[in-house]
Amino acid sequence: MDDLTPPATRPANPRFSSGPCAKPPVFRLDALADAPLGRSHRAAVGKARLKAAIDGTREILGVPADYRIAIVPASDTGAYEMAMWTMLGARPVEMLAWESFGAGWVTDAIKQLKLDAVVREAPYGEIVDLSAVNWDADVCFTWNGTTSGVRVPTGDVIPADRAGLTLCDATSAAFAMDLPWDKLDVTTFSWQKVLGGEGAHGMIILSPRAVARLESYTPPWPLPKIFRLTKGGKLIEGIFKGETINTPSMLCVEDYLLALDWARSIGGLPALVARAEANAGAVARFVAATPGIGNLARDPATASTTSVCLTFTDPAIRDAAAFAKAVAKRLEAEGVALDVGAYRDAPPGLRIWCGSTVETADIEALMPWIGWAMRAEIAAQSADA
């Protein structure tokens, strides 16, 4: 076979974006027809849907009964910044970062909140040495680095008897990776990631110790209304029953409920995790068998199973950034992969979303196309020389 012959099979769904991610396989717009549109979210029907979203989250993720869960404004960013703004400043802070979103939380801590925080950063493709972290400080970190394709392998290193709080941005991990709830005091995510929901709404999950912090500590800086979780030093319990701070989109809520139903129907969290692992496994097999391409994650133990980042290593490549862009463009032009270019701040390459809504057959069908696009681009580059 000619090396440049396009593969015979195309992915049935070419959506491999790392957010918003592919909708669940059962998604159809008319499946949202029962959304209580044009009704108040404070009416019984709206409140019931919001409460179902919270209850379903607890059920599928296995969140302990004494943890609080809320739907909050502004997607994962809103949820995470709400946690930083309401809880940090009470004790020493350590900021851990291994990609651009984690780096954004470092900027928040240092430049906006003006905290004298210890900052531990790892280059793209690595995470920091978690055993060196002072867990008696409040520790902010990202479970899965969406833009760098690395993740925390387990929470074992986090001590159960820590004095600090752990604030975990788990937006590209929740529903695809097991999260150790006893080690996480604040966990945030957005619907737009692993369950293929919509952006705009964030979720925040609080341990009893995080609630104790909220009720015992008042930060020195002002808090906008959309960050306020307490009133008169007491938690506003209604927020954790679906009485949202401001108006949510009931269409997005309905869409999230559909995704939760789908998750339940396939077997819940174990099935969601297994799907992401199977997808990442299919990419790993391709990478192992293909010269000239590598995983950005240096250590397989920390390699992401959702946002898998690939780099091109063929010595014939002259301009890595231009090459990676051209490969992504070829894949898009063929209609086999949309939105797979590496994140703008990350090293040049491809990023293939392997989260739970993506079908393994589609990942398997995509891999030969990546090999093809790479060979075609090297050939084009040589012809230009």
Ligand X SMILES: Cc1ncc(COP(=O)(O)O)c(C=O)c1O
User: Which residues would be at the binding site for ligand X (CB under 6 A)?
Assistant: 19, 75-77, 101, 142, 146, 169, 171-172, 190, 192, 199
Instruction: Report how far residue 81's alpha carbon sits from residue 92's, in angstroms, rounded to the nearest whole number.
Output: 17
Q: Whole-number minimum distance, CB 139 to ligand X, in Å?
A: 16
Instruction: Report how far residue 351's alpha carbon sits from residue 16's, in angstroms, rounded to the nearest whole number.
Output: 8
Spatial CB neighbours of 73, under 8 Å, sequence gap ≥ 6: 200, 201, 202, 226, 244, 245, 246
Q: Whole-number minimum distance, CB 74 to ligand X, in Å?
A: 7
Spatial CB neighbours of 207, under 8 Å, sequence gap ≥ 6: 67, 165, 181, 184, 185, 186
CB-wise, 297 or 378, nearer to ligand X? 297
Name the residue type at position 142. T
Q: Whole-number minimum distance, CB 215 to ligand X, in Å?
A: 26
Instruction: Tell me whether the omega of the peptide bond preceding residue 20 falls within 30 degrees of 0, making it cis.
Output: yes
CB-wise, 171 or 302, nearer to ligand X? 171
**Which residue's structure tokens are 């110790």?**
209
CB-wise, 190 or 311, nearer to ligand X? 190
Q: Whole-number minimum distance, CB 232 to ligand X, in Å?
A: 29
Measured CA to CA in angstroms, residue 175 lies from 26, 92, 167, 340, 382 at distances of 17, 31, 18, 21, 44
CB-wise, 135 or 141, nearer to ligand X? 141
Q: Whole-number minimum distance, CB 19 to ligand X, in Å?
A: 4
Instruction: Report how far residue 93's alpha carbon sits from residue 121's, in angstroms, rounded to the nearest whole number.
Output: 14
CB-wise, 172 or 311, nearer to ligand X? 172
Q: 142, 98 in Cβ contact below 8 A?
A: yes
CB-wise, 130 or 152, nearer to ligand X? 152
The CA-CA-CA angle for residues 259, 262, 265, to 5°, reads: 155
Instruction: Report how far residue 171's alpha carbon sits from residue 76's, in angstroms, rounded to the nearest whole number.
Output: 7
CB-wise, 49 or 351, nearer to ligand X? 351
Q: Whole-number minimum distance, CB 378 to ligand X, in Å?
A: 31
Q: Whole-number minimum distance, CB 66 to ligand X, in Å?
A: 26
Q: Whole-number minimum distance, CB 190 to ligand X, in Å?
A: 3
CB-wise, 80 or 323, nearer to ligand X? 80
- What residues pair up with 186 in beta bridges, in sequence order? 167, 206
- What residues pair up with 188 in beta bridges, in sequence order? 169, 204
